[in-house]
């Protein structure tokens, strides 16, 4: 579970309700609830989601949103270390020796890449297959984030629509002061709900999904580059230097030297 997503959403809600409570007490909090306003904003937004997406996309929305709450920590240095280990095995014993090692690989993308390499897949075809998988995954994530962008746009739009409805009713009933309060509540609270939908939920979650997607794509590209280098018979030390270019300076300073020494040691052993 990604605690930062939960903290962000919960903290935003707490600040909003605290602001309302501090300015008007319990009665102010009660004033934030208006059922007709919920129907207009939430119901209208859901209706527009159905109208603007096909059923297959809508079915995946829950899974896409869940990605923002899933704690997936990618350890690029550990990934590089695993690739260098594979490179040293291939250098000592040949590519076929990786067949047994592949069964123990937990990362499904790396496992698929190693199996394709062991099967003797042409490097160009291997690259095309893996790049197609990366592109397809990136497209799925982009589609999910785009749906949330639509929700972020439609929520405030329905909030404004509710405001117009409330104002229209208020103006029509100016001669009956008893209805002005309810009409004004619909006029203002719908805008509030629309802002909540967009700024507290949809936009932050869409941003987190894009961030997660970028991290996953980087990991897959790192693996792709490493497997192609192994397939090409490159020196493990050269492979490591190439893969370290994917890391930030902080990541390199934190573990690059140590891993470099390990790679050089294994390379020396293989040459001996």
pLDDT tens per residue across span 147-164: 999 999 999 999 999 888
* Spatial contact of 256 and 247, defined as CB atoms under 8 Å apart: yes
> In angstroms, what CA-CA distances link 201 with 9, 78, 130, 153, 250?
7, 33, 33, 12, 32
* 124: pLDDT strictly greater than 90: yes
Choose among 57, 51, 46, 220: nearest CA to 143. 57
Report the C-alpha gap between 7 and 17 in whole angstroms.
15
- Cβ neighbors of 107 (< 8 A, separation 6 or more) are 79, 223
* 58: pLDDT strictly greater than 80: yes
Q: For the chain, give the percent of residues with pLDDT over 70.
A: 87
**pLDDT for 27:** 61
**pLDDT for 103:** 87
For the chain, the C-alpha Rg in angstroms (whole number) is 27
Delimit the domains of the chain by residue range.
1-32, 76-134+218-271
| Tens digit of each residue's pLDDT (9 = 90 or more) over 178-236 | 766 666 777 788 899 999 999 999 999 999 999 989 989 999 999 999 999 999 999 99
pLDDT (average), residues 133-148: 92
* Spatial contact of 192 and 159, defined as CB atoms under 8 Å apart: yes
> In angstroms, what CA-CA distances link 16 with 103, 154, 174?
51, 21, 31
Report the C-alpha gap between 127 and 190 in whole angstroms.
51
């Amino acid at each position: 579970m990604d605690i930062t997503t939960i903290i962000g959403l919960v903290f935003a809600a707490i600040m909003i309700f605290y602001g309302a409570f501090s300015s008007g007490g319990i009665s102010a909090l009660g004033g934030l609830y208006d059922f007709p306003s919920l129907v207009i904003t939430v119901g209208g937004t859901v209706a527009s989601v159905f109208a603007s997406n096909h059923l297959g996309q809508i079915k995946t929305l829950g899974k896409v949103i869940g990605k923002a709450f899933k704690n997936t920590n990618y350890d690029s240095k550990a990934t590089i270390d695993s690739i260098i280990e594979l490179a040293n095995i291939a250098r000592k014993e040949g590519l076929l020796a990786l067949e047994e090692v592949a069964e123990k690989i937990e990362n499904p993308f790396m496992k698929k890449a190693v199996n394709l390499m062991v099967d003797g897949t042409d490097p160009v075809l291997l690259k095309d297959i893996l790049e197609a998988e990366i592109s397809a995954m990136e497209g799925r994530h982009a589609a999910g984030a785009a749906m949330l962008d639509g929700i972020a746009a439609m929520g405030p739009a329905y909030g404004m629509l509710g405001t117009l409805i409330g104002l229209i009713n208020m103006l029509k009933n100016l001669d009956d002061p008893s209805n002005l309060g309810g009409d004004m509540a619909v006029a203002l609270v719908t805008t509030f709900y629309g802002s909540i939908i967009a700024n507290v939920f949809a936009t932050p979650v869409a941003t987190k999904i894009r961030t997660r997607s970028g991290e996953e794509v980087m990991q897959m590209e790192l693996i792709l580059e490493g497997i192609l280098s192994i397939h090409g018979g490159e020196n493990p030390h050269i492979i490591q230097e190439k893969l370290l270019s994917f890391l930030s300076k902080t990541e390199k300073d934190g573990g690059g030297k140590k891993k470099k020494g390990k790679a050089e040691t294994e390379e020396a052993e293989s040459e001996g």
